[in-house]
Structure formats: structure tokens, C-alpha cells
Amino acid sequence: MIDFETTGLSPEGDRVIEVSVARFDPGALAPLLVFDSLVNPQQAVQATEVHGITDRMVKNAPTFRELWPALQDALSDCVVAAYNAYFDMRFLAAEAGRAKSQANVPFMCLKSVRTSIRVGKGCSLAEACRLHQIKFSNAHSSAGDAVAAALLVPHYLNAMNGLGVHTFRDLMGRAKHRYTESFVYHPFAAPSRACSHPLLPRTPSGSHR
């Protein structure tokens, strides 16, 4: 599960200022936050009233290009998912392009898939968590949003099993959403070397909220 906080809504002009990845690997009982870092956008931070991040906080943070190899490792060997994936994947593609790379990988939008697997209508992440009785108290923190979205996965899998949806092909037969077009791509390759994913403190106290 990936989540970004950004300076605005347009990946063409706005930049990522925080990124987190929570993995829910097969057999795991809970998601694991494997990547969590502020990002220096190399431009003025905006929308601080939403995400709480300031220029001072990202001044000494790594740039997206510097983080890109480790972020690919964190997302390796899996289908990338996000709650509002069309937003996050557009920023991922734009930032990857600035890093002279690309992000053509399979992904799922958990907001869109809700109707396909009959767990409810499309709604906000906060509302989805409320409906599934998932504690969600750190909205607009990339780590908080990524972990909360990952905790929806077991509920979605249970619903899929009940409908006989066991493969991506099965899901494509039910889901009439654009994200299924990405299933033709391959995931990021697993790293050939040990990689330590950044779990970087945001302030001396380790929290920006």
C-alpha cells in the first residue's frame, strides 16, 4: 500500500513531500510499514493546513530521486495498491519520470474495487475504516493512511472469496475500472542486494504531528 502527501493536486506542477509504503505480504497477520520518509520537493511547501508539513521539516529531507531506488525495492514483487490509486499513481509516475525512470506496474484502487466486490459504495478512506471498524486517527499522514488502507485488505479478500474471485482475471470480470488495465504490467523486480528502506524521523521527536 502506498500513500503520498503532496504540495497540491496536480502531478505536473506539484510535488511529493511525504511517502509511505505498508506491505501486506502473503501469510502476514498485519501490514508492516516498510518505507516512511519526508521528501524535499525542491519548491515551496503548500497545503500545510492539510498535512501539517512545513518547509523547515523537508529542508534536509532526501529528494524523490534520491529515495527512488529504495522506494522501488519497497514496492517490489507486488501489486501496488492505494485507496485513491488514481491520485497516488499519477504522482508516482510523474516523480519517477523526473528521476529518469518509469512506474508502469500493476496497481489496484481500493476505493474503486469496493463496488465490484460488494463491500459498499465508493467513499472516503475514513468512512471505509469506520464501516469496517478499523481505527483511523492519523488522517493525511502518509504512514497513517497507508496502514489504514492496508488494514482493509483482509475485509476485501474475505468478500472476494465469498464471490469466488481468486485471481486478477476473476476480478477483471467483475471490475469495470481503469486500474485493471495495469494488470498487463509486471511488478518492480525484487532487489538483488539487501536494501534498508528509509524509516526516517520527521523531527527530532520523530513525529510531525
Q: Which CATH number does the domain housing residue 53 bear?
A: 3.30.420.10
For 17-73, the pLDDT digits (tens) are 999 999 998 888 899 999 999 999 999 999 999 999 999 999 999 999 999 999 999
In a domain, residue 36? The reply is yes
Secondary structure letter of residue 199 according to DSSP: B
Top-confidence residue, 101 or 174: 101
Q: What is the pLDDT of residue 27?
A: 85
In a domain, residue 204? The reply is no
Does position 177 have pLDDT exceeding 60, yes or no?
A: yes
Q: Is beta strand 80-82 parallel, antiparallel or unpaired with respect to 32-38?
A: unpaired
Least confident stretch, 17-26, 71-80, 136-145: 136-145
Neighbours of 51 (CB within 10 A): 21
In sequence order, what DSSP letters do the residues of 34-98 get, joined into one string? EEEEE-B-SS----HHHH---HHHHTTSPBHHHHHHHHHHHTTTS-EEETTHHHHHHHHHHHHHH
Do 31 and 150 contact (CB within 8 A), yes or no?
yes
In a domain, residue 116? The reply is yes
In a domain, residue 144? The reply is yes
In a domain, residue 50? The reply is yes
The β-bridge partners of 33 are 22
In a domain, residue 197? The reply is no
Rounded Cα distance between 106 and 104, Å, is 7
In a domain, residue 121? The reply is yes
Most confident region among 107-116, 135-144, 186-195 by mean pLDDT: 107-116
Structural domain count, the chain: 1
Neighbours of 92 (CB within 10 A): 25
Residue 42, by phi and psi: left (phi above 0), alpha (psi -120 to 50) or beta?
left
Neighbours of 203 (CB within 10 A): 12
In a domain, residue 191? The reply is no
Q: What is the pLDDT of residue 203?
A: 43
Residue that the C-alpha cell 513531500 belongs to = 17
CB-based burial of residue 55 (10 Å sphere; 0-12 exposed, 13-18 middle, 19+ buried)? middle
Instruction: Write out the residue range of the structural domain in which residue 62 sits.
Output: 2-184
Do 26 and 77 contact (CB within 8 A), yes or no?
no
Percent of all residues in the chain with a pLDDT value above 70, rounded to a whole number: 91
